[in-house]
Structure 1
Amino acid sequence: MDIHRCPRCGWPLAELPAAQPVSRRLEYVRCVCGSWLARLDGQVVGATKGQLTR
């Protein structure tokens, strides 16, 4: 998993809207594909949907 991109669609995290902080280290952000991403210290550690298959 690329820690700087959405694991579902590959969208760069730097281009996503502002995140919703849960704590100083953990935040949630909605990707353009609709998946919720959990970021710990700015790196993706989880997502609500699996990777797209092509």
Structure 2
Amino acid sequence: MNPTRCPRCGWPLAELPASAARPVSHRLDYVRCLCGSWLTRLDGEVVGATRPSR
């Protein structure tokens, strides 16, 4: 899994709007990709993803 791109669609996370992030702690956050998938980041690296909504 590439830690800088969405594992579902390949979109670069650096290009997502800042409003897409939902911080949980200083190490963990959730980011909503443009494809609809929620990504879990730990220390800035993607560690998990949901499937996009249909």
TM-score where L is the length of structure 2: 0.86
Give the letter aligned to residue 6 of structure 1: C
Structure (1/2) with the larger helix percentage: 2
Local SS of the residue matching 1:44: strand
TM-score where L is the length of structure 1: 0.86
Q: RMSD of the TM alignment (CA)?
A: 1.2
Q: Please, which runs of 5 or more residues in structure 1 have no aligned partner?
A: none
Q: Where in structure 2 are the equivalents of 1:4-23 lying within 5 Å?
A: 4-18=4-18, 19-23=21-25
CA distance in 2, matches of 1:17, 1:8: 18
Structure 1 runs of 4+ aligned residues shifted over 4 Å read: none
Report how many residues are paired: 50
1:47 aligned residue: 49
CA distance in 2, matches of 1:23, 1:29: 13
Q: Please, which runs of 5 or more residues in structure 2 have no aligned partner?
A: none
**Identity of paired residues, percent?**
78
Local SS of the residue matching 1:2: coil
